[in-house]
Amino acid sequence: MKIAILSGSPKTEKNSLTMQYVNYLRKSFPFHEFNIFNVSREISALAPSPLAFSRIIDGVTECQAVLWAFPVYYYLVPSQYKKFIEQIFENNAHSAFHNKYAASFSTSIHAFDDIAHDYIHGICDDLNMKFVNSFSADMYDFGDPRKLKSLLFFFNNFLSLIEAGTLTQKAFLPQKKESLSFSHSRPEGRIDPSGKKILLITDFLDKKTNIHEMFKTFSGSFTVSPETVVLNDLPIRNGCIGCLACGYNNTCPLPDSTVFADLFLKISNADILVFAGEIRDRFFSSLWKLFFDRYFSCGHPPNIFTNKQIGFFVSGPLMYTPTLLRFIYSFTGTEKANLSGIITDESEDSKTISSLLFQFGQRIVSFSCNNYIKPIMFPGVGGIKVYRDDIWGRHSYVFRSDMKRYKKTRVFDLPHKKIGVLLSTRIILLLTKIPFSRRLFYRNLPGLLAYFFRKLVK
């Protein structure tokens, strides 16, 4: 059986951990033909080659199945991979993928790999592929025979389902294509930013788009116009190549690193940030993804967005794009920022959107002036713990800068460091071994926490 391997790693096949797993599969299944296409290396994030794209599409057409193999880069696939996916839709190359069986494979530290796999699953549904399953490998699973056995079972099951002609079912709703044409209107009033620095960032600012009109309406609501950064206007040339050289002192070796350094400094100095963009397939554009990938050079979250007010303007069917919504919640959560609101152009009329933008402006300034940061929820709490444990342990020698910052900002809140908690829990464990104490403890447990809070309220 011919299987197209769409590699999302921007590294060479020799240096790519993802591709070493794929080579292991190729060696383990010698009677099947693995046609490997190094998508992220051949499709530049900013200057795609039509020839390279056509060659890949022709190769996919000749195969019976597709394995999407990629490293997880900042909550999703690498920006170069994202660009390739955009090209599939822009060039109407759906037919090469139609009705083919598909599966996804990734390598990561299991930080938001679920979002990346759901994104690829959604793309497969949009291409009318028969998506079977996904496998998310840890970076170091190659040293665990049990994990390798699971990987072999996953791929063998994939092949068996293809040979059996197994039915599959779509998991994601198709995206609505219709959208309101939003027109700029006069603001309902004027908002005093109260000395707060507001920074608006977008990928493209075409005057014919809703994002341009939303920016115009929002900016016009303030007594002092916010600063705007358009990523497409910056001399950006490279997507992240996963070299990890930035781990030592947050210095990126790529030639356009100073552009990003200046932009990240602007972000650090801002109090309020608004990100805006159109939905491209099931995420923001590959240029936005490039921005987030290159932001990795600043280190793991929480980082420069901490304690800032963040809002999003989204043009497109966000209600039909759950992976993007999960990214927004996860990104702001792990950064310990305050998600002040998300405004889309999905409302019924322009007047409603204008009012939403004005009220959002009032709200975000009020939040900033009152230093309001709501408690982070599970994606943020869980994500920070994954980063914390990884940097404390197996990757401490790589991310030296993160080690220093995490120590300084007390991100290393490991359980064994909380001596008071450890002592009290050990004492209670000993007491609950005594039948009388155990009965007394569990009888009073339901109201125990409330008792301490009642004392605080009084």
CB contact at 8 A, 10 and 242: yes
Higher pLDDT, 341 or 444: 341
Of 4, 64, 79, 86, nearest to 37 (Cα)?
A: 4
Q: What is the mean pLDDT of residues 126-145?
A: 96
pLDDT at 418 (0 to 100): 73
Of 355, 374, 361, 341, nearest to 194 (Cα)?
A: 361
What integer best gives the mean pLDDT of the chain? 92
pLDDT band at 423 (very low <50, low <70, confident <90, very high): confident
pLDDT band at 257 (very low <50, low <70, confident <90, very high): very high
Residue 94 three-state SS: helix
Higher pLDDT, 308 or 236: 308
pLDDT at 337 (0 to 100): 98
Q: What is the pLDDT of residues 187-220, one digit of tens each?
A: 778 999 999 999 999 998 888 899 999 999 999 9
pLDDT at 451 (0 to 100): 73
pLDDT at 276 (0 to 100): 96
Q: What is the mean pLDDT of residues 397-410?
A: 93
pLDDT band at 442 (very low <50, low <70, confident <90, very high): confident
Lowest mean pLDDT across 127-136, 138-147, 386-395, 446-455:
446-455
Contacts 24+ apart (CB under 8 A), 56-63: 56/6, 56/84, 57/88, 57/91, 57/93, 57/96, 58/96, 59/4, 59/35, 60/4, 60/6, 60/96, 60/97, 60/100, 61/95, 61/96, 62/2, 62/35, 63/2, 63/3, 63/4, 63/35, 63/100
CB contact at 8 A, 339 and 332: yes
Give the count of alpha carbons within 13 A of 273, CB side only: 23
pLDDT band at 64 (very low <50, low <70, confident <90, very high): very high
pLDDT at 202 (0 to 100): 95
Residue entry with tokens 């004492």:
427
pLDDT band at 183 (very low <50, low <70, confident <90, very high): confident
pLDDT at 436 (0 to 100): 86
pLDDT at 427 (0 to 100): 87
pLDDT band at 458 (very low <50, low <70, confident <90, very high): low
Q: What is the pLDDT of residues 26-52, one digit of tens each?
A: 999 999 999 999 999 887 655 667 888
pLDDT at 45 (0 to 100): 59
Q: What is the pLDDT of residues 380-390, one digit of tens each?
A: 999 999 999 99
Q: What is the mean pLDDT of residues 242-254?
A: 94
Q: What percent of the chain has pLDDT over 90?
A: 79
pLDDT band at 448 (very low <50, low <70, confident <90, very high): confident
Is 149 exposed, middle or buried (CB count within 10 Å of its CB: 0-12, 13-18, 19+)?
exposed
